[in-house]
Amino acid sequence: MTKALVLFAHPCEESFSAALHRTVVDTLTGRGWDVDDCDLNAEGFSPVLTAAERRGYHDVATNTAAVQGYVDRVMRVEALVLVFPVWNFGYPAILKGFFDRVFLPGVSFRLEDGIVKPNLTHIRRLAAVTTYGGARSRAFLAGDPPRHVVKRALWGVTRPDKMRYLALYDMNRVNDAQRGQFLSKVKSEMERF
């Protein structure tokens, strides 16, 4: 049975992101996967990296103390699926804070002679399901940071066999039919993931 961590980052349960989240969780669960559904907002995750955490960032023996439960959840899965909206060409603060506080030295990477080595190679499948308010061309002109972080930085610390980046652009102008098509695409992709 494949174990997956679904990281969801949207505060509103009536949002389209919430519908995407439900589709991901329901589809993976329906396939018989063991899904750890981590709704960061519902769990009250604090995205703020404290001064003490920053000072202890490189102390691998103690740097996970404040977020050990989340570290344990990341360490026991084979798949990671992110469900989030893109806001201001970036992640919602709560998801960025998750990476800042949980993807620590000794967790997501190791430093060997000053060189970063991947440490989450047990994660064999990586996916992002997201929406953008603007058109793909606007995201492209802004450098599309969320796509690059997933496809480069997260890929770099996981080195998965399978990776998907599913994005619905131009949310400010899409209609119900287009949202429905994207939900169907996400369901289909998760059935094959």
Domain containing residue 92: 3-192
- Please check the confidence at residue 1 and state whether its pLDDT lies above 90: no
SS3 90: strand
Asked if the model's pLDDT at residue 174 lies above 90, the reply is yes
Strands 115-118 and 79-86: unpaired
Q: What is the DSSP letter of 139?
A: H
Share of the chain above pLDDT 70, in %: 100
On whether the CB atoms of residues 158 and 123 are closer than 8 A, the answer is yes
- State the Cα torsion 137-131-98-15 to the nearest 10°: 150
Model confidence pTM above 0.85: yes
- How does strand 79-86 pair with strand 3-8? parallel
Q: How many domains does the chain have?
A: 1
Tokens of 101: 């506080």
Residue where the block lists tokens 């992709």:
189
Interhelix angle for 68-75 vs 93-102, to 10°? 90
The CATH number of the domain holding residue 144 is 3.40.50.360
Cα distances (Å, whole numbers) of residue 110 to 97, 116, 158, 171: 20, 6, 12, 38
pLDDT at residue number 11: 97
Residue 133 in this model has a pLDDT that exceeds 90:
yes
CA–CA separation, 130 and 80 (whole Å): 14
Please state, in angstroms and rounded to a whole number, the distance separating the CA atoms of residues 142 and 120: 29
pLDDT band at 162 (very low <50, low <70, confident <90, very high): very high
What is the DSSP-derived secondary structure letter of residue 150? I
